[in-house]
Structure 1
Amino acid sequence: MRRRTKRYTGTVITALLALGVALAGPPSPAAQAADPVTDYCQGRCADILPPGANGNATLVDILGNKAFGTHPAHSDDQLAPYDKLVSGYPALTDASLTQFFNDASFGVPEDQVASVTRPRADVTITRDKKTGVPHIKGTTREGTEFGAGYAAAQDRLWLLDVFRHVGRGELTPFAGGAPANQGLEQDFFRQAPYTEADLQAQIDRIVATEGERGRQAMADVQAYVDGINAYRTQAKDGRYFPGEYVLTGHIDAITNVGEIEPFKPTDLIALASVVGALFGNGGGGEVESALSLLAAQQKYGVQEGTRVWESFRERNDPEATLTVHDGSAFPYAGKPDHAAGTALPDPGSVTAEPLVFDRQGGAATGARSTVKAPRKLEPLRGVFDDGVLPRDLLSSKHGMSNALLVSGKHTASGHPVAVFGPQTGYFAPQLLMLQELQGPGISARGASFAGVGMYVQLGRGQDYAWSATSASQDITDTYAVELCSPDGGTPGRDATSYRYHGQCLPMEKIERRNAWQPTVADSTAAGSYRLQAYRTKYGIVTHRATVGGKPVAYTALRSTYRHEADSIIGFQMLNDPGYVHDAQSFQSAANNIDYAFNWFYADSRQTAYFNSGMNPVRAADVDPALPIAAEPAYEWRDFEPAANTAAYTPPAQHPQSVDQDYYISWNNKQAAEYSSAGFGNGSVHRGDLLNDRVRALVAKGGVTRASLTRAMAEAAVTDLRGEDVLPELLRVLRSKPIDDPQLTQAVQQLESWQAAGAQRRETSADSHRYAHTDAVRIMDAWWPLLIEAEFKPGLGGELYDRLRTNLSIDESPSAGHGATGSHAGSSFQYGWWSYADKDLRAVLGDPVRGGLAKPYCGNGELSACRDALLGTLRQAVDKPATEVYPGDANCAAGDQWCADAIIHRPIGGISQKTVNWQNRPTYQQVVEFPAHR
């Protein structure tokens, strides 16, 4: 079992002894490495995942962290090198990469072995001294997977438990009734309500339909679960289980009475559904789109209003940066010439479907809990008052992860170079965990989502590496289901029966009755409520409305619903050295992943790209951007509702490429005619921050791992607005002399910042102060003001607000957005930068392809536009830093650096230090393979 390093003072130890808590840890294993595996990367593969590999903390660990800031071994040792790239990247060389990334070679050198655990005879788990990452080697496949589950529990047991409860909509009974916990379980239940029978059916389906690979996958799942449970039992009996179980009342700190519920295969389906909802979903939001279209038609008339709305929708903007830029086109989900089956709601008729019923108790956080905590645990009271996960983890938009790859034709070595990774937010511990898996049919190292780590999901094989970015193409449609009354009467808007193929069928009601008690770590009083969702053959009911005067329910139909675990086959293939051996076999493996992702590949000879996803084949002339009438003529082709299956577009119709000169992806548009699922994928996108830099590197030639990493790192500290929109703003302002000295100074500050690269970066390492601090503050204050002044007068208040619902105005680093709310790192994904860019260029008389339907800034008149911008600039200049950065529990008001900074959101009892903002993958690889099998 795993050794834990103890670094606690006598006070903390005395406190725990007073509670009767044993200080036993796992027995010390012998230090002996497993046999090495052939590694064709030859020391040129590196990766990093902060804050550290170890994500479990005993009650002693948690008390020590809260009282003295101590950390369990390997729980924070990757944070500093990750953070330091912000100051270190300008001087980065291939030789110095190891200062900021870890060696991602296979195996552990003998002199670097920290421990070897043998949870059973056919597997060893070797951990290295530097990072503590588990290197799992099995002599049997079952043993390998058992070891993977055992190591996952060693590193993420509490996190696994949290997420299996999120996946069932049952977080509050497990972790307490904090408002964030309530909101999160509600959001997930709304998106993916399942019964236990539904979860089991997904397992049964894989076994029945996926042949030998499906049967092997489920055998791997069972062995993985067995490994989790083996560690769970040992940790509980040995009293070195995660301390959060004490804080949430599951285990008594003194008597050890209580239980960690056994894990089962259906837990992994629930976990997989959370991961898919977070990072692999796409589309939806058609009701909100319909409401903004109606607002546009109300203002301008049907024809002109539709044209205005389409210009903001930007489905196929000709100026958008593309991942596949070789001229190939992959038509999908586009706007039909003559749409059929569109079901727009009657104006003012839409209401959201209620979800929560029978609420009792549950006083707001801050009410004193009635639970009696041992006196020595009082410092931990309220540690989970903000919930164990962010309230908007699932409800906020997620467009994450980036990738940079250069063909060997343009590198110094002649071999491809890749820098890529997923941008999954910053948590403590991370949602991802690192591992190496070596066993029969498995050979890989990299990151896996905790709890579904039977295989490495993003990482490297023996002679190849792969990664992904969220693609978010449209795999979710909204149907308008006509309501009916079983007795033939007139249905009300709240009717629970609907028409399907001429029948009046009852909706299926899925319920959760959740109750919670006060705990040591949660000050919320006891409470309960009932969650309720209605399911139809066309998906989950999300809204009620009338269409043409008839009551309807709007439903969300996601192609991957009821198929949360099907992607396991693709991941199994990616980990199989006998399957993946070149670009084509990689693309074949990626095609077996059903979620919407962009997949990237590099070996010593080739680079490749493939867009995965269960893209349904829609009926002719259906517009997927708007609600669709629930009639047979407008269903997905070959739609079978019982298992939610349909015809899907063949692999050849998915965006893909091999050996393009370079690839970039930052959740930008995949290829020409591959319609974007959301608003705002136009002329300015954060993908441009990568594309411009990588294109310049390729033009110069001789690309290295270090130069490609520098390009990524520079983009990671650059303000997209400052680089790609500020030049037009300044041209408008400078179109006539500025006679106000204060505004002249502000414009000069912005010009100086823009000329220096528009970066949000410290003046020097650890200064915690930005260079060009005034310009950054002015930009942050000015952007929302200038957007409103530019667009609201022309659009009118209602349409402007509706469009803001479709696409937020801004995602600056200090804004509260992304997977962890504020302090999230990920920035500049969603915003009105493309709209502003196109509008300002039109006002300036520049050519604009795919421009907005109307001019907005100053109604298209340059002088009036300039006046509007100058007026808002004056407001921004006058706004003090304390208002621009109002402060929070972590930062004082006016602290610009801290407002931007990354703060890992604690999922358990251990917190981490604040680090520099950087818009960068959470887990990241830097790879260059010099050899191939």
Structure 2
Amino acid sequence: MRRRIVRLRTLTAGAALALGASLLAPLPGAGAAPREPAAQERSAGAAEENDYCGSQCADVLPPGASGNATLAEILAHRLFGTQPAHADDQLGPYDALSSGYPSLTDDKLTDFFNDASFGVPGDQVASVTKPRDDVTITRDKKYGVPHVKGTTRYGTEFGAGFAAGQDRLWLIDLFRHIGRGQLTSFAGGALANQGLEQQFWPQAPYTEQDLEKQVDYIRSTQGERGKQAMEDAQAYIDGLNAYRTKSKDGRYFPGEYVLTGKIDAVTNVGEIEPFKITDMIALASVVGGLFGNGGGGEVESALSLLESQKKYGVEKGTKVWESFRARNDPEAVQTIHDGTSFPYAGKPEKARGTALPDPGSVEREQLVYDREGGARTGAKDPVRAPKKLKPLQGMYDKGVLPSDLFRADGHKKGMSNALLVSGKHTASGNPVAVFGPQTGYFAPQLLMQQELQGPGISSRGVSFAGVGMYVQLGRGQDYAWSATSAGQDITDTYAVELCEPGGGTPTKQSTGYLYRGTCTPMEKMERKNAWKPTLADSTAAGSYRMQVFRTKYGIVTHRASVDGKPVAYVSLRSTYRHEADSIIGFQMLNDPTYVKDSATFKKAAQNISYAFNWFYADSRDIAYYNSGANPERADGVDPALPVKAAQDLEWRDFDPADNTSAQTPPAEHPQSVNQDYYISWNNKQADDFSTAGFGVSAVHRGDLLDGRVKKLAEEGGVTRASLTRAMSEAAVTDLRGEQVLPELLKVLRSKPVTDPQQAKAIEQLEAWRKAGAQRNQTAAGSKTYAHPDAVRIMDAWWPRLVEAEFKPGLGKDLYDALTAQLATDEAPSAGHGPTGAHAGSAFQYGWWGYADKDLRKVLGEPVKGELADTYCGGGKLDACRDALLATLGQAVAEPATEVYPGDDSCKAGDQWCADSVIHRALGGITHKPIQWQNRPTYQQVVEFPRHR
């Protein structure tokens, strides 16, 4: 009998898994077993006595709590479109808010959010599982969220690990292999898989000994909490392994193990590798690299500075470059807006030790070697950095397609937003918060929901799958907390002078370097991956080797010459070798005996070493604290540029053995309690707290929140619904249309417009602006925008107008160098940026602030922190207007099929679909597109009426 062939195709998250090849239909016994059987006992599940939120805490995490699917469920999904239980049931409510928010009331919040109270009412219990006598996992009927309750601490953590296996076993396995640089050997040789390996492993090329050393460091140096954290982690791993074994024996393990050839569907022969505690360190390095790092890119900054100096001369060229760098822009929206100053990483009055490369000497360090068979990237070895950096074009210079997790120009993906209003301005007199992490859209989600109740633990919220022994973002008994990526500069680039350990003349390819006067061999780190074709990946068999060199100052990223001497540029971040140290802070946040108020919340956040902005709300206070292992730099060091590797220029008290150094004290970190309101959307934190990259200028997406929340606070009577409405309106608003279009229209209307097409376009843009400059549907589910022509014109016009405004004055070479540092646009439909197409997150990086300052200067309006030159039309209003009109005419003439060229998910010209959010599949289950909205992936709405 001929077997039926089913074509499987998934989207990919940078595509960690390429299920794009043909798949055989189920063989006898293939995945036919049911999902994990749950005990049918029922729990009273009454509201917990330790819950002080009074049903006023809510949350949502699309697409759904369940992230595992058996082979049978994957096949049924592909053949009939069915979904495993609780795989997508939070997607609909999440999507509906984009259209439903205008009429939102407190009573209607549960139409769009889940009740986040502790416990499960008796009539809502769907199942109860007891993996051990000392722990119970109760799941609710509505969304299937695991509520873990233990009578012992070990049992509680064991249950957390077991529940993680139930909901994210495949994803956890996938990400531990990404962290170890072994994804292709695990999931196949697709280019996207290779791309993920080549992005993450070089940042943290750890050996097993390195990983074990980090575990020992936490256990031996962090006191009793460190010992407890590692015991909790081991219990979590034990629970995860218990589920691994049980699901394998019961044959209800995730079907991806069959698709990738790990387990035979008929005989059940094969293995899911046991998990170990060092896997959590590897996984934490991926999570930290995605969301908690800041700084870096100093070599690229040096190249753009040199280009500016080449055009203008050293003095003016430096001023021009600094004006675009905008380290401390006085017009940038800030989280702390009361004038409190927190100086950090600023430009020194007189820099010393700066190590700018000789022109044309920079070469990017070669990473890939010995590529054999499989899909090829077309890479040429060695890879040389171009003389002039090019704007982001969607390709790495290694030839590897960029993932949806990082930008090719080095900018990390910025995450998350937060809106908090003090009780002085709310209807109830209690603070209100709407906040959450913007972690992208994946299937299954990188985060997983859980409630943990046990000795020393009382929390509900989300954790990154695989490191969920504590809730990382969520709520405690009478308080809630969340975070946004801060991105302050905790990564520096050093120029190490090269030498030959055996003597002789060094070259740029030398593998010895001077460390405190001694020629020291670099440590060569290698990872070789080989793969075979699988049902999930038809890539031909192949292999390749990754190689990086490690020094005491960090990982080699480039080679060059400085003043004629060969050097290697190396990247050193303060969290390197400390990927899991933040576990102590999360342990404290989950501990009801520790966090009792805003002061103890800040102390807990001080123990988190990654760069995050932390926000807190209880019935009395709102609070903010910026965490991060901020190194104390030597006097005179400019953190924005490479610095010579010399002992007097190192971080203070630097010890390379464990990568430790002196860090700025907690009092110097931006922080505040009970400001009238706080907003955060990866914007500037406070006065004099210098930003780590380009573009934090006069216009930022944080302005979309700040203006709305400020108005609410001034009017008073803020409610959960009104603050959610403010967030939701910002989430469907085009930043360019709201913040820059008014200046553009002033320039265009400075004289009558005689061209009929241009005049019509201006009227359409004006009507769109007056309506709120939103990218919203005419009605829920219509998939048609209320102002489609204006949106299309803006999408086509913006890149043209920026080029016409700045390129003539800057010149091609400098314009190209600066746009390599910061892409001009990040519209929702763009297939680039930190998250790629269909990613939701938009308007974080762009030239809107530069354009706004320049246009106001041309119009003769006041500008603080102005650019070093006036660019549009050479500073002349008529010439500027002519340039804008010419590009507007070009934009009007561009058809929708070219503005929105289409992709695997959308037809050319489909504007709504081009913007739409699509959950990128990390396994065999996919989900329908939803309306674009620029909001947190996981989101809480909280208002505590009382306190302990």
TM-score scaled by length of structure 2: 0.94
Contact 2:35–2:70 (8 Å) recurs in 1: no
Question: 1:271-282 residue pairs with structure 2 within 5 A?
Answer: 271-282=283-294
Report Cα offsets for 1:116-156 as digits up to 9, x if no partner: 00000000000000000000000000000000000000000
- Unpaired runs of 5+ residues, structure 2, are 1-23, 379-399
Which amino acid is 2:449 matched to? L
> 2:883 aligns to what SS in structure 1?
helix
Gap change, CA 1:105 and 1:890, over 3 Å in 2? same
- Who is 2:345 aligned against? 333
Change (3 A) 1:724 1:820: closer
Q: Which amino acid aligns with 1:105?
A: S
2:909 and 2:852 map into 1 onto residues whose CA distance is 29
**Residue 926 of structure 1: SS of its match in structure 2?**
strand
1:7 corresponds to:
none
Distance change >3 Å, CA 79–CA 415, structure 1 → 2: same
Look up the match of 2:138: 126
Report how far residue 20 of structure 1 moved. Answer: 4.8
Q: Deviations over 1:155-196 (max 9, x none)?
A: 000000000000011100000000000011011122111111
**Is residue 205 of structure 1 aligned with residue 217 of structure 2?**
yes
| Structure 1 CA distance for aligned equivalents of residues 136 and 481 of structure 2 | 26
**Cα offsets for 1:731-789 (capped at 9, x unmatched):** 00000000001100000000000010000000111110001100000000000000000
Change (3 A) 1:387 1:66: farther
The Cα shift of 1:812 comes to 0.2
Seq. identity, %: 73
CA RMSD of aligned residues (A): 1.5
**Are 2:188 and 1:173 equivalent residues in the alignment?**
no
Aligned to 2:754: 739
Aligned counterparts of 1:337 and 1:932: Cα–Cα separation in 2: 48
Distance 2:280 2:836 in 1: 26
Match of 1:416 among 431, 438, 445: 431
Deviation at 1:390, TM superposition (A): 4.3
Query: 1:699: Cα distance to partner?
Result: 0.7
Structure 2 equivalent of residue 757 of structure 1 = 772
Aligned twin of 2:371: 359
The alpha-carbon distance between structure 1 residues 154 and 530, as it changes in their structure 2 partners (threshold 3 A), is same
Q: Say whether 1:91 aligns with 2:91.
A: no
* Secondary structure at the counterpart of residue 543 of structure 2: strand
The structure 1 residue matched to 2:662, chosen from 647, 665, 674, is 647
Q: Which of 264, 269, 280 matches 1:268?
A: 280
Q: Say yes or no: does 1:521 pair with 2:536.
A: yes
Q: Residue 923 of structure 2 is aligned with which of 908, 914, 929?
A: 908
1:195 aligns with 2:207: yes
Deviation at 1:38, TM superposition (A): 1.6
CA deviations on 1:559-586 (whole Å, 9 max, x unpaired) are: 0000000000000000000000000000
The residue number in structure 2 matching 1:374 is none
Report the residue type matching 1:721 in the other structure: R
Of residues 701, 706, 720 in structure 1, which corresponds to 2:735?
A: 720
Q: Distance in 1 between matches of 2:93 and 2:763?
A: 35
Matches within 5 A, 1:122-271: 122-271=134-283
Contact 1:611 1:656 (8 Å CA) reproduced:
yes
Cα deviation digits, residues 229-281 of structure 1 (max 9, x gap): 00000100111000000111101111111000000000000010000000000
| Residues 27 and 265 in structure 2, CA contact (< 8 A), matched pair in contact too | no
* Aligned equivalents of 1:817, 1:136: Cα separation in 2: 40
Partner residue in 2 for 1:532:
547
Q: Which amino acid aligns with 1:99?
A: D
AA aligned to 1:497 is: G
Q: Secondary structure at the match of 1:16?
A: coil
Aligned equivalents of 2:401 and 2:224: distance in 1? 42
Other-structure match for 1:375: none
Task: Work out which of the residue numbers 667, 672, 688 in structure 1 matches 2:703.
Answer: 688
Residue aligning to 1:405: 420
CA change 1:519–1:793 in 2 (3 A) is: same
CA apart distance, 1:677:
0.2
Residue type of the partner of 1:791? F
**Contact 2:434/2:941, CA 8 A, preserved across alignment:** yes
1:588-599 pair list within 5 angstroms? 588-599=603-614
Partner of 1:377: none
Counterpart of 2:941 in structure 1 is 926
- CA distance in 2: counterparts of 1:387 and 1:234, whole angstroms: 38
Per the TM alignment, residue 820 of structure 1 is displaced from its structure 2 partner at its CA by 4.3
2:32 to 22, 29, 41: 22
Residue number in structure 1 paired with 2:318: 306
Q: 2:825 aligns with which of 796, 807, 810?
A: 810
The residue identity in structure 2 corresponding to 1:556 is: S
Provide the rounded CA distance (Å) in 2 between the counterparts of 1:499 and 1:798: 34
Q: Which one of the candidate residues 65, 90, 93 is aligned to 1:53?
A: 65
Whole-angstrom CA distance in 1 between matches of 2:38 and 2:319: 70
Report how far residue 817 of structure 1 moved. 3.5
CA shift in 2, pair 1:884/1:598, >3 Å: same
Mapped to 2, the partners of 1:256 and 1:364 lie a distance apart of 33
Separation in 2, partners of 1:539, 1:796? 36
Amino acid at match of 1:843: V
Conserved 8 A contact 2:452-2:460: yes
Q: Which residue of 1 aligns with 2:721?
A: 706
- Does the 8 Å contact 1:601/1:609 carry over to 2? yes
Check conservation: 1:149, 1:454, Cα contact below 8 A. yes
Where 2:568 maps in the other structure, the secondary structure is strand
Is this contact kept in 2: 1:246–1:253, CA < 8 A?
yes
Cα distance in 1 for residues equivalent to 2:790 and 2:201: 44
Using the alignment, how far apart are the partners of 1:582 and 1:393 within structure 2?
38
Counterpart CA distance in 2 for 1:622 and 1:15 is 62
Q: Give the whole-Å Cα distance in 2 for the aligned partners of 1:183 and 1:918.
A: 28
Q: Which amino acid aligns with 1:427?
A: F
- Alignment of 1:790 with 2:805, yes or no, is yes
Q: CA deviation at 1:74?
A: 0.2
Q: AA paired with 2:895? A: P
Letter in structure 2 aligned against 1:768: K
SS at the partner of 1:115?
Answer: strand
The Cα of 1:21 is off from its aligned counterpart by 4.2
Match of 1:295 in 2: 307
For residue 621 of structure 1, the aligned residue among 614, 633, 636 is 636
C-alpha offsets along residues 707-738 of structure 1, whole Å, 9 cap, x if unaligned? 00000000000000000000000000000000
Tell me whether 393-402 or 420-429 shows the greater mean CA deviation: 393-402
TM-score, normalised relative to structure 1: 0.95
**3-state SS of the aligned residue for 1:791?**
helix
Counterparts of 1:733 and 1:696, CA distance in 2: 30
Matches within 5 A, 1:25-104: 25-33=35-43, 34=45, 36-104=48-116
Aligned to 2:842: 827
Write the deviation string for residues 433-458 of structure 1: whole angstroms up to 9, x where unpaired.
00000000000000100000000000
Match of 1:612 among 627, 640, 645: 627
**1:64 CA drift (Å):** 0.9
Distance 1:492 1:143, change over 3 A: same
CA contact (8 A) 2:554 2:572 kept: yes
Q: Tell me by how many angstroms 1:16 deviates.
A: 3.2
Corresponding residue for residue 109 of structure 1: 121
Structure 1 residues 622 and 21, CA gap change in structure 2 (3 angstroms): closer
Pairs aligned (count): 902
- Partner Cα distance (2:297, 2:900) in 1: 31
Q: Which runs of 5+ in 1 are unaligned?
A: 1-13, 367-385
Q: Is the 8 Å Cα contact of residues 66 and 144 (structure 2) preserved in structure 1? A: yes
What SS does the corresponding residue of 2:107 show, helix, strand or coil? coil
Closer, same or farther: CA 910–365 of 1 in aligned 2, 3 Å: farther
In the other structure, the counterpart of 1:567 is 582
1:30 partner letter: Q
**Aligned counterpart in structure 2 of residue 888 of structure 1, from 877, 881, 903:** 903
Report deviation, 1:462.
Answer: 0.1
- Asked if the contact 1:24–1:240 (Cα under 8 Å) also holds between the matched residues in 2, the reply is yes
Find out whether 1:557 has 2:572 as its counterpart: yes
CA deviation after TM superposition for structure 1 residue 31, in Å = 3.7
CA distance in 1: counterparts of 2:517 and 2:881, whole angstroms: 59
Give the Å deviation of 1:24: 3.5
Matching residue of 2:816: 801
Would you say the 8 A contact 1:199–1:266 is kept in 2? yes
1:541 matches 2:552? no
Q: Displacement of 1:392 after TM fit?
A: 4.5
